[in-house]
Amino acid sequence: MSTAKTGSGYHHAHHYDSAEHEYVSSKQGVWLFLCTEILMFGGLFVGYAIFHHIYPEIFKVGSKFTDWRLGAANTVVLLGSSFTMALGIYYSQKKEQSKAVAMLAITILCGAIFMGIKYIEYSHKIHLGLLPGSWYTADPASLVKYVGDMEIPSNLPMYFSFYYMMTGIHGIHVLVGMGLIAWVMIRAMKGEFGPHYYTPVEGVGLFWHLVDLVWIYLFPLLYLVS
């Protein structure tokens, strides 16, 4: 933010005084957008807190059907992708084009691995009939090996409502994030970024960190809660 970005080849939009002016304004816009994301996910977290208070047992039993190893693997993948994203911004600023593109490509790959693992988890649950709310069709006999002698609460489907709503909306954000990173990667390939102009990479990076951060909360709340 402190580095001067004026006098470069980049032409700022007509209503700004300088590229620096455009940069700080855009960044404020991105942060405000992140606030809206936090408030939107906030609604889900509040719902979680309330129903965890009323029905603690459904979360205790429900989380038995999640595999903490897969969740932990996804946590590592996303944390790693945040690191490569940060490097992508760093190399964009330094105008080290091929390294920037490589880092952004690894970030997209991490996103794809995350979604791949999610796909495995989802198909396992769908196979058992562990679907949200009124779509829930699981046969209690097939669940015994997961829950042992724990009693299956009658409104267990609500746990899966939370599971699918929270991870689903988060997953959509991962996909959108991958799309946005692909967009800045293509622009990085064209050599559009450098010390004077890297606003889109940084904005997309901030978004990707938020997506990562939300998962950091989802992992314990859905996988480790028992």
Partner 1 sequence: MASGSTASAAHHDHNYLNHEKGLWSWLTTLDHKRIGILYFITVALFFLVGGIFALLIRTELFSSGQTIMTADDYTRSMTYHGAIMVFFVIIPGIPAFLGNFFLPMQIGAKDVAFPRLNLLSWYCLIGGAAVALTSLAFGGADTGWTFYTPYSISMKPAVIWMVMGAFIAGFSSILTGLNFVVTTHKLRAPGMTMNRIPLFVWALYSTAIIQVLATPVLAITLLLLAAENIFGIGFFDPALGGDPVLFQHFFWFYSHPAVYIMILPAFGVISELITAFSRKTIFGYTAIAYSSLAIAAVSFFVWGHHMFVSGQSEWAGVVFSFLTMLVGVPTAIKLFNWMATLYKGSINLSAPMLYALGFMFLFTIGGVTGIFLATIATDVHFHDTYFVVAHFHYVMVGGTLMAIMGGIFYWFPKMFGKLVNDTVARWSFFFIFMGFNVTFFPQFVLGSMGMPRRYFDYLPEYEYLNQLSTIGAYMIGIGFVIGGWAVIQGLLNGKPSGPNPWGAKTLEWTTASPPPHENFIQQPIVTAGPYEYR
C-alpha span between 223 and 226 (Å, rounded) = 8
Q: Is residue 134 within the footprint of partner 1 (CB under 8 A)? A: yes
Q: Which is nearer to partner 1, 44 or 87 (CB)?
A: 44
User: Is 62 among the residues that bind partner 1 (CB under 8 A)?
Assistant: no
What is the rounded CA–CA span in Å between residue 152 and residue 224? Answer: 18
Q: Using the rule CB under 8 A, is 157 a contact of partner 1?
A: yes
**118: nearest Cα among 171, 61, 166:** 171
C-beta of 62 vs 88, nearer to partner 1: 62
Closest by alpha carbon to 156, among 60, 58, 48?
58
Among 55, 91, 208, 219, binds partner 1 (CB under 8 A): 55
- What is 125-150 written as a DSSP string? HHHHT--SGGG----HHHHHHHHTT-
Contacts of 11 (CB under 8 A, 6+ apart): none
152 near partner 1, rule: CB under 8 A = no
- CB of 80 vs partner 1, minimal distance in Å: 28
Q: Tell me if 129 contacts partner 1 by CB under 8 A.
A: no
Tell me the residue ranges of DSSP E strands in the chain: none
Q: Does 21 bind partner 1 (CB under 8 A)?
A: yes
- Give the footprint of partner 1 on this chain (CB under 8 A): 13-16, 21, 24-26, 28-29, 32-33, 35-37, 39-44, 46-47, 50-51, 54-55, 131-135, 154-155, 157-158, 161, 164-165, 169
